[in-house]
Amino acid sequence: MPRLDADGCVLRAFRGDDLPLVLEAARDGAITRVTTVPQCADEYRARTWIRMQQARVADRAGFPFAIADAVTDEPLGQVGLWFSGVGAGRARVGYWVPAAHRGRGLAGRALRRLVPWAFEVAGVERLELYVEPHNVASQRVATGAGFRWEGLLRAWETIGAERRDMVMYSRLPSDPEARCATPPASTAGAPSPAPVQ
Ligand SMILES: CC(C)(COP(=O)(O)OP(=O)(O)OC[C@H]1O[C@@H](n2cnc3c(N)ncnc32)[C@H](O)[C@@H]1OP(=O)(O)O)[C@@H](O)C(=O)NCCC(=O)NCCS
């Protein structure tokens, strides 16, 4: 895994000493409901989760990066690419930042750095992102990295005990880097695409 500079933070491989970040994320329901971070994980389960990230890299099943402070190397979140369940040339992106570190632009900077690396180094030809319609912060992160709104996937995924609609975004190498429009929350499930810049 490379170490990528991302404007005040870095993207790097997960390490065993990132345990406090995973324990923090495990207590954050907004993260555990949409990621593989185990809810209320103890140290054993958190260490197992870190080993799972390392195994994904080894198996080429994905590239899970820790987002870390560029000066202190303190881990602050995750951003990554995942290849399971998508066709050749495609990858899903995902990211999370625990509540204590949100609102500082970390996810946005991390995703904007990941995108060119995915296209130029990892050989991805189409990036995809699935977001719950109410998750405006995540949609801002996506559009800030040039992702385009594609549509509403009805009952796409089981989250908790329920089938949930998901909004799909994508990014192609030919798309402009500038922010694309986010549909207003009231029309996030509208059938026609939102205008893009
Ligand atoms: C989504 C998430 C990663 C954002 O992390 P972050 O580091 O705070 O994101 P950033 O600071 O880069 O940007 C957030 C953007 O959303 C906006 N935002 C934040 N909270 C918001 C809210 N409640 N309503 C509307 N906009 C909001 C910010 O103003 C910012 O917009 P800008 O780029 O126009 O300035 C974080 O909230 C999180 O981990 N959520 C739980 C897990 C999750 O949902 N992951 C994504 C799954 S698809």
Distance of CA 77 to the CA centre of its chain: 10
Pocket test for ligand 1, best of 27, 35, 93, 96 (most atoms within 8 A of CB): 96
Cβ distance 16 to 50 under 8 Å? yes
98 lines ligand 1 (CB under 6 A): no
**Which atom of ligand 1 lies nearest, measured to the CA of 30?**
41
**Which atom of ligand 1 lies nearest, measured to the CA of 130?**
48
**Which atom of ligand 1 lies nearest, measured to the CA of 106?**
7
pLDDT of res. 157? 93
Nearest of 19, 77, 68 to residue 48 by alpha carbon: 19
Structural domains of the chain, ranges and CATH numbers in brackets = 4-187 (3.40.630.30)
Residue 131, both tokens: 């977001």
136 lines ligand 1 (CB under 6 A): yes
Give, rounded to a whole angstrom, the gap between the first and last alpha carbons of the chain.
Answer: 34
Cβ distance 17 to 91 under 8 Å? no
Mean pLDDT by 10 residues, the chain (197 residues): 96 98 97 95 97 94 97 98 92 98 97 97 97 97 97 95 96 85 49 37
CA of 135 to the centre of ligand 1 (A): 8
The enclosing H or E element of 173 equals: none
* 55 backbone dihedrals φ, ψ, rounded to 5°: -70, -35
pLDDT of res. 182? 55
pLDDT of res. 85? 85
Pocket test for ligand 1, best of 141, 157, 166 (most atoms within 8 A of CB): 141
33 lines ligand 1 (CB under 6 A): no
Cβ neighbours of 176 (radius 10 Å): 10
134 lines ligand 1 (CB under 6 A): no
For strand 126-131 and strand 90-96, is the pairing parallel, antiparallel, or unpaired?
A: parallel
Q: How far apart are CA 28 and CA 22, in angstroms?
A: 10
Cβ distance 28 to 78 under 8 Å? no
183 lines ligand 1 (CB under 6 A): no
Cβ distance 47 to 21 under 8 Å? no
pLDDT of res. 183? 55
Nearest of 18, 20, 8, 6 to residue 71 by alpha carbon: 8
Q: Edge-to-edge, what's the strand order for the sheet holding 162-171?
A: 4-6, 9-13, 62-69, 75-82, 90-96, 126-131, 162-171, 148-159
CA of 95 to the centre of ligand 1 (A): 10
